[in-house]
Amino acid sequence: MRAATWVVLSAVPRLNPSAGREWIPNYAQLISALNGLTLAGLLFAAGTVIIGGATWAIGANRAHTQGVTWGRFMVVGGFVGAVVIGAAVAIVNTGFRLGS
């Protein structure tokens, strides 16, 4: 069983991920779509921070503790989301290097 697995795995050609333009169909469109999703995620995170800040301010002005809590969570969540989206490339590259 082990020898058969080795024979099958040795027959599979090695792929170079940095040469994605050559073996991924519609590579430019895929990269463009991913960049668009990244932009949408960052805009959504910025909107969450803005709306959360407004909710927090209005809740604090009206002594509405639930509004303050929701606003605070929205602001923190927006910042965390923006950091994760911004660091996604570094996270993926680090994981790829650890796995190879």
Domain coordinates of the chain in residue numbers? 24-99
Closest to 21 (Cα-Cα) out of 13, 34, 30: 30
Residue-wise pLDDT tens for the chain (100 aa)? 566 665 665 665 666 667 777 878 888 899 899 999 999 999 999 999 999 999 999 999 999 999 999 999 999 999 999 999 999 888 888 887 887 7
Distances in Å between the Cα of 71 and the Cα atoms of 39, 52, 83 are: 23, 4, 18
How far apart are the C-alpha atoms of 42 and 72, rounded to whole Å?
Answer: 18
pLDDT score, position 71: 97
How far apart are the C-alpha atoms of 73 and 53, rounded to whole Å?
Answer: 10
Contact (CB, 8 A) for 32 and 44: no
